[in-house]
A and B are shown apart, each in its own frame.
Chain A
Amino acid sequence: MTINRRTILKAGAAAAALPLLGSRAFAQGEPLKVGFMLIGTPNDNGWNFGHAQGAKFMKDTLGELVAEPTIVENVPEGPDCERVLRELAQSGHKLIFATSFGYGDYVIKVAQQFPDVKFEHATGYQRSDNVATYNARFHEGRAVCGTIAGHLSKTGKAGYIGSFPIPEVVMGINSFVLAARKINPAFEITPVYISTWNDPAKEADAARAMIDQGIDIIAQHTDGPAALQVAEERGIVGGFGQGADMSAFAPKAQLTSIIDHWGPTYVQSAQAVIDGNWASADRWPGLKEGEVQIGPYNESIPADVVAAAEAVKNGQIDGSFNIFTGPINDHTGAEKVPAGVTLTDAELLSMDWYVEGVNPPA
């Protein structure tokens, strides 16, 4: 299925025509304008696609209450994004989603100039009266992927392509390795950071280099399916979709995928702005709330492995299992989390150390 912005706009335009017929009263008299600022394009089939899908879900759910969502794509993390944020605020958008980590400083800055506009910053940590943050517990999905990797890897070595060594990414790496080592205690990975969220050429180069070094499973914390395509081409055991189901690009190699389902959170925020009760907060839902979902399992995965993966998933949903419960050793082998203790959210959000089994990148 391909949903691009044009179809979203079409759906939006059709819905926008409805108020002309209806007689419904609006809190603000006219539909709420919602803006989305993306670091890539919705056709990356990953992170940005997920947010565009969320925007569409919001429009489809709230109908004539919201205008067709405005999506500004390819906005770099720097002064350029400040300009885009101001442009959105000045053109009447009362709710603006900034969906990349590096937008943080600029969101805070622009939000001060537009106190009546609500800003929400995905994956960020800085809040103010009109700036909220939101994220998804991707690391819960990483635990499911890690379980599969631990079972299926023959070499016991996996590759992991990261963007930047920020807590969000480090957390995912640790979750993946902890889960894999519960199955194969010798499992190890060497992450590679490529200093960008979306550069298919760099992602593919990193994947090739790691496969040449003997890994047979690959995971990535970047925006697109490039690494999976390399996995497919080289015929290694496989990899995982990130942000969206990427099986179309790697039908054999994608073992499963972590799907971000941002729609409900966007509906909730837009509704709160319309009702006039929006408040700055930090939201961090996960598998349980359905914001993080596990895509279909590849047919090639044996039934017992699927069962183990499902057990990890369901354990996280009902709260009986937490991947960050000790004992956990750091990469030097020293005990970091004692048995029975679970890391708090605050500890996760400032995570800057690797678990045993990760060879820290230079």
Chain B
Amino acid sequence: MQFRLEKRLEPSRLMLYATPIAAVLLTMVIGAVIFSLIGYDGIGAVREIFFTPLTNAFKWQDLGVKAAPLIIIGVGLSIAYRANVWNIGAEGQYVMGGLAATWVALSTYGMSGWWILPLMMLAGVIGGAAYAAIPALLKTRLGVNEILTSLMLTYASVQLVYYLVRAPWKDPMGMGFPQTRIFSEAARLPTIIPGTIVHMGVPIAVAVALIAWFVMSRSVFGYQMKVVGAAPHAARYGGFSENKTIWLAMLVSGGLAGMAGMLEVAGPFQRMVPGFPTNYGFTAIIVAFLGRLNPLGVIFAGIVMAITFVGGEVAQTSIGLSSSATGVFQAMMLFFLLAGDILVRYRIKRVAPAAEARA
């Protein structure tokens, strides 16, 4: 008995939604087998990584806080990727957004007023968008591949963090440690549920995803993004400028990454530190794809990724699983998802040996 892949006439909607779920399930099964084979408690590992964060109410706040930046960046990336614009440098745009917000927070240090946080938010969005404008400019003017430029600019942004926290922005009371001072009260995100660490960024993330979903499915902008991505020739014929699309895609994804940077620095960090770049921008790439480049899907994908991070730590404390296990599980998830993608456009057909011979 043999199998053959046969192209579907239309992409399967069922598979479109089923493969991400299948990828998560396969990751659990294969993960449990692999970790059992190398001598760990494989089933325990899957239980601790994927289920404990959901069943333990103490962990929900962690999930929300960890998922929020992933969702916001993931939404921006999903819009850009829909338009076939490959912004890989969301990490750098996230960092620049955080730096721009930090600049506002330090400039207004000691002041109070409701306007400080909105101003930081504005600075964060502009910072991220401006940094994404560099690859957009290089792409539209000189035809330079945005994958390379956006990625490399990430490393430049990290060096800028190191420079700023070591010299001009160093905390005068920080014992020489390279970090800024803690922001004053007015520049810190308020927690919205007393007694937890859940901050304003969590509802903002959900709102961003909902707005993006609405815009992508109901507006000309969303239509333009999708058409340029799916059928560039048709788009050109229809009068949509390719360059304009690149600009929009980069600015929106960069701006949202910058917004996430602002929310992180004003929320959980409350100061700029060398450890601020935590790979949210790269992890959000997995989130965008796991969410099927659909803003609503990104919400769920963001939560799934947050579960693996939080669960990875639970597994370390409870069953002594190495921290690398988290990375293995995340990588497996993306691998199975991409591998499963083939089922969206192709169907598996059983081929009888006789038919094979005739063919």
Residues of B within 8 A of A193 (CB): 166
Interface residues of A in 40-77 (CB under 8 A from B): 41, 70-77
Q: Given that A72-B313, A78-B268, A87-B317 are contacting pairs, would A102 and B177 also be in contact in the complex, using a CB cutoff of 8 Å?
A: yes
By a CB distance below 8 angstroms, the chain B residues around A86 are 58
Q: Which one of A73, A80, A125, A164 lies within 8 Å of B274 (CB-CB)?
A: A164
Q: Which A residues are in CB contact (< 8 Å) with B9?
A: none
Q: Which of B294-302, B318-326, B331-339 contacts A (4 or more CB under 8 A)?
A: B318-326
State whether the Cβ of A9 lies closer than 8 Å to any Cβ in chain B: yes
Beta-carbon contacts under 8 Å, B31-81 to A: 58, 62, 65-66
CB of A83 within 8 Å of the partner chain = yes
The verdict on A74 contacting B323 (CB below 8 Å), with A166-B175, A166-B176 known, is: yes
Residue of B268, B275, B309 touching A102 (CB-CB under 8 A):
B275
User: Across the A-B interface, how many residue pairs have beta carbons closer than 8 Å?
Assistant: 82
Complex Cα gap A41–B314 (Å): 17
B317 and A70: CB pair below 8 A?
Answer: yes
Q: Residues 241-284 of chain B: 1 if any A CB is under 8 Å from the residue's CB, otherwise 0?
A: 00000000000000000000000100011000111101000000
Query: Which one, A83, A167, A170, contacts B313 given CB within 8 A?
Result: A83
Q: Is B162 an interface residue (CB 8 A)?
A: yes
B24: min CB distance to chain A, Å: 22
Query: Which residues in B have their C-beta under 8 angstroms from that of A325?
Result: none
The one of B178, B182, B317 in contact with A165, judged by C-beta atoms closer than 8 angstroms, is B178
Cα-based distance from A125 to B175 in the complex (angstroms): 9
* A76 contact set on B, CB distance < 8 A: 275, 278
Chain A residues whose C-beta falls within 8 Å of the C-beta of B317 in the assembled complex: 35, 70, 72, 84, 87-88, 91
Chain A residue numbers with a CB within 8 Å of B65 are 79
CB neighbours (8 Å) of A70 from chain B are: 316-317, 320
How far apart are the CA atoms of A175 and B321 in the complex, in Å?
Answer: 40
Is B130 among interface residues, defined by CB-CB distance under 8 A?
A: no
Q: Which residues in chain B, 131-182, are within 8 Å of chain A measured between CB atoms?
A: 162, 166, 175-178, 182
6 pairs of residues in contact across A and B, judged by CB atoms under 8 Å: A9-B320, A72-B316, A75-B323, A90-B58, A102-B275, A196-B274
Chain A interface residues toward B at CB < 8 A = 5, 9, 35, 41, 70-80, 82-84, 86-88, 90-91, 101-102, 105, 125, 164-167, 170, 193, 195-196, 349-350, 352
The 3 tightest CB contacts between A and B, nearest first, are: A79-B268, A74-B323, A78-B275
8 new A-B pairs (CB below 8 Å) besides A72-B316, A195-B274?
A35-B317, A73-B323, A75-B323, A76-B275, A78-B275, A79-B269, A82-B197, A83-B62
